[in-house]
Structures are given as C-alpha cells and as structure tokens.
Structure 1
C-alpha cells in the first residue's frame, strides 16, 4: 500500500508539472462545452429559397408570403423565370427553388387540386432534405388554410379531417442542447481516460524511466494502478466540471440521481483506462499513441450515437456500436439526465461496460507482461 501511495504521489506531481496536460484536462472541457453545443444544432435555418411565380395570382402571393414569413427560409429571388432561379442555385445563392406554374389558382379553384414543383440543391444533403421537409410542411399548412377558407364561404363540400395533438416527453421544448451536452461530456471523459493515460505511459518509455521501474521491486499491478488511478480521478473531476458547466450555462439539471451517473462513470473510466493502457503496450512513441487514439476517438464519436441516430445507421454499423463503450455511456447520460432513469434501468449497460473493462484491462496486462 505504501508503494502504491508513493507511485500515486509521483504521478500526480508529474501530471501537475506538465502545463500541457493541465490545459487539456481543465481548459478543453470548458471550451468544448461552451462552443460545441451552440454549433452542433440539429435545426437547419436560413435556407435560401428562390420562388418562380408564373401565376402571379392572389393565392400564389399568399403562399410566397407564408414561406417568406417562416424563420427557416430567406426569400432571395422572386421571379417568373425558372432558368433564372436555377442560375441562382448554380451560383450557390439559393438552396431551394419552388416553381408555381401558370393557372395555379385557377386549377386549385376549379379542379380542387394544383401542382407545384420543387428543386433542391443536394450538395448539402442534410440541408436539402430538411429544407424539403420544411417547405412541404408550409405548403401543407397553406393547403389547410385554403380548405378552411372555402368551408367558411361556404362553397366547398367539407371532408372529414384528422386533427393531431402531440406532446414531447422528457424534452418538451425539443431543446437540442439537453440532448447534445450529455453526449459531448462523455467524449471529453473518454479523451481524458484513454488518450491522456496512453500518452503518459508511452512517455515513460521515451524518456527511459520505465526500464528503471521494471528493475525495481515494484510489482506489475502496482505500476499499472499507479498509472491508471490518477486519470481515473481526473476523469471524474472532468465529469464534475462538465456537469457544473451544463447546469450554469444551459440549465441542465439531471432528472435522475447524480449517484447513478457517477457509479456508471466509475466503471466506464476503468474500461477506457484499460483501452489507454492497451494502446500504450503496442506503441513506442507518443506520436504513435496520439495517432491511434485519434483514430479510435473518431470512430467512437461517429459510431457512438452522438450526432447520428443508431437506428438510422446501416446494419453493419449498428452491430459495431454494440462493441463501442461510448455508445452505452451516451445512452446512460441521456437516460439519467432527461428521463430520470435509475440504476435498475441501466443495469444492462452497466454489465456490458463492466465486461468491456475486464476484457480490456486483462488484455492490456497480459500484453504488457509479454512485451516487457
């Protein structure tokens, strides 16, 4: 126990002596939690639209005014030439073109139906897709207003209409920051746990002190615990700082117990620390460890359910997410913060991450013994 205490004291002194590590541990979470949630917005706004009005009727003007009044669209061109509107798309000044054909109002009144044409600039697929959805919703609302106007006149034979009422559970205002901040916090904890732990151990190899430690009476498990426990504690500190910032700047107060989050974080950090130790056993320089860690972090982020729903991924990617520990922590954070889940609700997540931790740490210890 005394040996472990001396090793921990050495590690903490070494960490706090390095200003680069201190900046990564304390400044990086603050900057990322204050910037990323504001930039990572699922809503697409300021979509530039060009309206080709070849009808110039009262109904076409009402539709155009309704689109221009939306907070999602900017009316950049109002013309009767489809060619001119397409040129705006080619110049990257318009994202969507809506063509209102001649006799739009006449067909709508006489035939009870009319056609519109919509062209989308699909270079940005997300913007084109959501822009099309928003525009269809506005046209659908306009159609409902016209039908209501005709019912009141009355000159229209009313048909049965279904009115839908909805409620959003757990996130009533659909605040994307409540959804994003817990996931971003998981990524920060993962980077501290795996990335910095791997760099710290590899640095011992580069400066040659690990050979000196290997010839001392210090046992393997004491050395490994001495390396991992400091970053386990620092990971929990980063989590605490992140939770505090989320409460101060975004008003995020977990619906569930903080104890549930910390219990899972303790197990999760053991898992990612095992990954960091594993990386360190297969690398000889900090540059190699950085490249491997960066690659793994990118995979964890892209296939962790942070920005993209796992259910919308291809089948092979969904299978991979089951072997991604980040996926489980992001899911747990959102469950506890938004839904108020308890330890019983996350029991399967906890068991799976525990299995990851045992597997990665055992593999790392065995690999470390073989190579040293």
Structure 2
C-alpha cells in the first residue's frame, strides 16, 4: 500500500502539473455537454415545402394554413406550376412538394374523397422520412376536421360517432429530445476522457524515458497498473458528477427518478472497465500517435454502435452482436433506465454482471501484457 501511495502522489503531480491537460479533462466535456444536446436533435423543423395549388379554394387555403402553422414547415412558394416547384427541389431550395388538384373542395363536398400528391426530396433520408410523416399526419387531421364539419352540416342533430384515442407518454411525457440525449452524451464524454487520457499515460512515460526508472524498481506490475488507473478513475467520477449535477440537472432540469447511489455504483464499475481498455491500448502502443489512433478507432465504434443515435433493435444481426460486445451500450442503457425510468438493481443486475466481466478481462489483459522490459 505504501508503494501504491507513492505512485498515486507521483501520478497526481504529473496530471496537475500539465496546464493543458486540466482544461481538456474538466472544461471541454462540460462545454460539449452544454452544446451538443441543443444541436443533436432528431426533431426536424423548418422543412421547406412548395405548394402547387390548382384549386385555390377555401379548403386548399385552410390546408396550407394548417401546414404552416404546425411549426414544422416553411412555405417556399405558392404556385400552380409543378415544373417550377420541381426546379426548386433540384436547386435544393425545397424539401417537399404538395400538389393540390383541381376541384379539391368540390370533390370533398360531393364525394367525401380526394387525393393530393406529395413529392419528397429523399437525398437526406431522415429529413425526408420525418417530413413526409409530419405532412401525412397534418393531412389526416385536416381530413378528420373536414369530415366532422360536413357530417354536422348535413345533420346538426346527429352526433358524429368516433373513437377518441388518448396517448400517454411514459418516462418522457413531453417527448423532449434533450431528456433522451443528455444522459447518453454524458456517458460518451466520460468514455472519451477515460479512453484517451488513460491510453496516453504509459505511452508518454515510454517516450520521455521515465518508465525505464520504474522498470528497474521492485514495483509489481499490478501495483504499477493500479497507480495508473486510480487517478483517472477519480477524475472520471469527478467529471461525471459535474456534468450530471451542474449541466444535466442544473441547466437542463433532468432530475433523476432512480437511485443515484445505484447509478454511481455502476459508473464506478464502468470506469474500471474503460480505464482497463485505455491501459491495454497503452501497453501495445509505442508512442502517443499510435495510442491516439488505436483509441480513436475503438471509441468511434463504441459511440456509433452503442444505440446513441440508432436503436440497436433496428440494426442488422451482425451489428447487434458488435453492440453486445460494446461496454458503452450497457452504460447508456443503465443511464436511461435509472435516470428516466427509475429502474432498480433487479432491473439492471445483468448489466452489472456484464460490466464486471469487461472490467476483469480488460484489466487482467492489460496487466499481463505490460512488460517491465525496454
């Protein structure tokens, strides 16, 4: 223990002596956590729609007004030429074309049936899909209002029979995208700090030659690795705490429903696994450039295959297996389950066992691979 204490003092002195490293560890993640949830938003707005209106009736104007007032669409132009509208799509000025046919109002009044045409610029698949879905929903709502108005006008005494559907959104009742994203982004930032900073640790000593002085001492390998791991474990806990309480709770108002101590218990285990990965990379790399390249390769896979942006359930089968071998996947799930759903230990006990497996394998691998030779 005395040897480990001296190593920890040495490590903390090295960390706090580096004036560039401290802002990278503490300040940069907080700024990213503050800004990224505001930018990384899958709720598409300001969709440019070009309306080709051949009818120019009261109904068509009411429909256009309903679309624009929804807040999702911007009217690029209002015309009767589909060719001109298509040229605006080709120039990337319009995302959607809504074509309203002749006799739109008359057919609705007479036959209760009328078709409209929607053309979608599908270069951006996400924007195209959501834009078309939004517009279809508005058309359905408009159709329902018209049906109700016509039925009442024919028989004012006859009440329209319909089924009312009431939605109840659990865990995120207002469908606020930031509520869903902030916990996951905090996991990613802690991951990047742990993986990058720890992977550079042993490599830096290799480059400046101080590791040779350590290698000739009787310090055991596991004590040396613990001396490298514990400081960044404490820093990771500190960065998470600041991001969680100051940004997530204080700025975005995301109050955790579940047990915070349970969350910190999982965080402690996750950091052991993650820092073991960083130390493993540093035992293989010969210089900082190699360590950064290898860490970047794996961290990008961790992020993209974690369910942060794409639901794991919608991935192909081979990608699901990669996601299951990704420690970030499990921590993001735990964050959302504990913070948003209020899940208890019995709901995430399998996540604890899996993360314990990651921690044991990665750290024993790092210890076994470290050689006290030049």
- Asked whether the two chains share a fold, i.e. TM above 0.5, the reply is yes
* Alpha-carbon distance change, 228 to 64 in structure 1, aligned in 2, over 3 angstroms: same
For the 8 Å contact 1:192–1:234, the answer to whether it is kept is: no
- CA root-mean-square deviation: 1.6
Find out whether 1:320 has 2:322 as its counterpart: yes
Give the C-alpha shift of residue 172 in structure 1.
1.0
Equivalent-residue separation in structure 1 for 2:268 and 2:40 (angstroms): 28
Cα displacement string for residues 327-352 of structure 1 (whole angstroms, at most 9, x for unaligned residues): 00000001111111122221000100
Find out whether 1:220 has 2:221 as its counterpart: yes
Give the C-alpha shift of residue 20 in structure 1.
2.1
Equivalent-residue separation in structure 2 for 1:270 and 1:316 (angstroms): 27
Find out whether 1:264 has 2:256 as its counterpart: no
Equivalent-residue separation in structure 1 for 2:182 and 2:106 (angstroms): 51
For the 8 Å contact 2:255–2:339, the answer to whether it is kept is: yes
Number of the residue aligned with 1:367: 369
Give the C-alpha shift of residue 192 in structure 1.
1.9
Give the 5 Å matches for 1:93-172: 93-154=93-154, 161-172=162-173
For the 8 Å contact 2:112–2:147, the answer to whether it is kept is: no
For the 8 Å contact 2:148–2:160, the answer to whether it is kept is: no
What's the TM-score once normalised by structure 2's chain length?
Answer: 0.96
Cα displacement string for residues 164-221 of structure 1 (whole angstroms, at most 9, x for unaligned residues): 1011111111111111111011111111222100111110111111122111111111
Q: Which moved more, 1:191-200 or 1:150-159?
A: 150-159
Number of the residue aligned with 2:235: 234
Equivalent-residue separation in structure 1 for 2:371 and 2:202 (angstroms): 14
Q: Secondary structure at the match of 2:76?
A: strand
Number of the residue aligned with 2:300: 298
Number of the residue aligned with 2:45: 45
Unaligned runs of 5+ in 1: none
Number of the residue aligned with 1:248: 250
* Alpha-carbon distance change, 158 to 83 in structure 1, aligned in 2, over 3 angstroms: farther
For the 8 Å contact 1:189–1:235, the answer to whether it is kept is: yes
Equivalent-residue separation in structure 2 for 1:161 and 1:271 (angstroms): 56
Equivalent-residue separation in structure 1 for 2:14 and 2:134 (angstroms): 55
Give the C-alpha shift of residue 131 in structure 1.
0.4
Equivalent-residue separation in structure 2 for 1:168 and 1:298 (angstroms): 32
Number of the residue aligned with 2:178: 177
For the 8 Å contact 1:278–1:364, the answer to whether it is kept is: yes
Give the C-alpha shift of residue 59 in structure 1.
1.3
What's the TM-score once normalised by structure 1's chain length?
Answer: 0.97
Equivalent-residue separation in structure 2 for 1:114 and 1:180 (angstroms): 41
Give the C-alpha shift of residue 363 in structure 1.
1.5
Give the C-alpha shift of residue 49 in structure 1.
0.3
Equivalent-residue separation in structure 2 for 1:21 and 1:327 (angstroms): 27
